[in-house]
Amino acid sequence: MRHSRVRGRAPGTRRGAPAGFAALVLSATTIVVLQAHSPAQAGALAAPKAPRVVFAESFENGQGGTPTLVTGYTGTAPVTQTYTADPAFLANCNGWIVSRQAPDAVPPATGCGGWWGSVKQLAGTLGKWAGGDPQTNHAVTAYTHADPGAGKTQIQAAKPVPIGAPDRFLTFSVDVAEVNCYANHAKLGFYLLDGGKAVPTFTTPIEPCVDASTVIDGIAVGTYTSDGPVLFGGSTVGLRLVNFQGSGYGNDHAYDNVRVLDVTPQLDVDYSPASAEVGKPVTLTFTITNTSELAVKKGWSFTERLPAGLAPTGATPATTCADATVTPSAGQVKVTGTLPKGTASCTAKVEVTAARAGTYETCADDLAAHAGVLLPACARVRFVPPVLVFDAHAYGVKASTPPVGIPPLAPSDLSCATKPGEDRNTLAGAPVPGLGSLAVLTTRASGVVDAAGLRTATASATTARLDLLRGVITADEIVATAKAADDDTGKVTAAGGVRLTNLRINGRQVVDPEVNLTVDIPQVAKVVVNEQVPGPGGRGVTVNAIHVRTLAGVEVIVSHARASLTVPGQTCPII
């Protein structure tokens, strides 16, 4: 089937010439098949596609050289459509299916008289236009050898046509060739039939003598599409072609290739960016793409359920669609609007976010309601935990013994790092002048990211064979641990603890101490066991297994561990 292309105006011709000129009406949008573009980048959408033909009648089934009145014709299976018409379009050279194979002698029943040759020529010209054989192509005559009267039905399908699904935009198209344009012109209008209700699919009737697609064999011819598609609620539809020209002076044409076209726009869904941190906004874009004839599509609508956990941010929606409403609410987004004539596509944009990390998917099944749009493919967005900064530190011992001090021994440090890593240290023996001694010191500081993107900072310090203050404080081993971890919402939880093996203070054994357990050694010192200090905002914790302050002003910390996860840009805690 060839599609119409406007190439210029054809002049009118006089009745009596072997053939005349016709023209295509500008108000009837021509069918132009456009090549769909490949996506230029991720998320790019295709150009408008050609309308889908849901029903076509070529008037060829079982036809040969003998003319057939259209009411005696049956279309191809499985529809096997039959047709009716107003009596005025079944007489006076109207309503006959003919081809150039027809006999030269005028069949008396046709009522065509001296115009029989022109009728046959119109059928052949329509065949050339559609890319078929002009000798065998059949078309239906409408040569109006007498006044038919205005608003009469030229053809009507006897039974509804299945269209596949409800709530589609439908329109009609037809191939028409017309001659004798110096006189009155045919004025054709298509109607959808919803039971007994006739719904027009045009704003201006098709007038083939006004603007021509092309001229073949001296005859103007083209494919005409109604310019007012209808949002049709049923899954079957009736069709009717009406001629509003009541005169038989002129109004000389033939028609072929009656089609019902599905011109429903395509709905597509996209998230941008495709990945974001939890709590950050992402734009959910609905794109409504017209079909290639670019006719107006008024009144489409859809309600999209949002994936559980995804919610509008409250930002004002944006749209390029006409007559549009975009209503985000808890759990869904409702959009209604219009694609104006000549518009390839329009968009509606809503900001959404998620409080938890994960992949969120929107698919066709998530449409709670829709009318006038084709269903979209799936779109996905991934929310990831925030990229928090690791900060982890550990050491075996640190002392302040005026006038001098002992710096942190066997330190391990992972300082303000966004990338995961680990630091370890070991020191075999550490005397503490004037205070005592320690054996092996082992420390570790690390930051890890798991498969889900969650972050954990940890620190640990182990001290073996502790002996302080000449045996007042002893232990086989003491261990301090600190840990800070985020969850899929970005919330950080910090925890710490100690593990003590045979710790004795002033002769008393300490087992499973509570946080910040304080032990007084009369006239000597104050000792805090399992000392824990929360970090800023609860994002970390510092743990000292043992913290000794003597009356002489000496301060000793044994087995220190600190871990935190910090928001980028904020200052990391200082040891």
Half-sphere exposure of 160 (CA within 13 A, CB side): 14
Q: What is the pTM of this model?
A: 0.75
Phi, psi for residue 95 in degrees, rounded to 5: 80, 10
Look at residue 465 in the predicted model and tell me its pLDDT.
95
In this structure, how many other beta carbons lie within 10 angstroms of the beta carbon of residue 568?
10
Q: What is the pLDDT of residues 474-510, one digit of tens each?
A: 999 999 999 999 998 889 999 999 999 999 999 999 9
Query: pLDDT tens digits for 49-79?
Result: 999 999 999 999 999 999 999 999 999 999 9
Residue 306's nearest CA partner among 347, 273, 351 is 351
Report the SS3 class of residue 126.
helix
Separation between Cα atoms, residue 20 and residue 122, nearest integer Å? 10
Closest CA to 60 of 122, 127, 110: 127
For the record, the structure tokens of 69 come out as: 């009145």
Which domains, from first to last, does the chain contain? Answer: 53-262 (2.60.120), 266-384 (2.60.40.680), 389-566 (no CATH)
Strand partners, 236: 162
| Count of all residues that appear for the chain in the document | 575
Spatial separation of the C-alpha atoms in residues 128 and 17, rounded to whole Å? 20
Element housing 118 (H / E): helix 116-129
Q: Residue 45's pLDDT is what?
A: 57
Answer for the pair 155, 191: CB distance below 8 angstroms, yes or no.
Answer: no
Residues in the chain predicted with pLDDT less than 70, given as ranges, are 1-46, 573-575
pLDDT (0 to 100) of residue 21: 25
| CA–CA dist 371, 568 (Å, integer) | 46
Q: What single-letter amino acid sits at 434?
A: G
**Residues with Cβ within 8 Å of residue 109, at least 6 apart in sequence:** 69
Relative to beta strand 275-277, strand 379-384 is parallel
Instruction: Quote the DSSP letter at residue 48.
Output: P
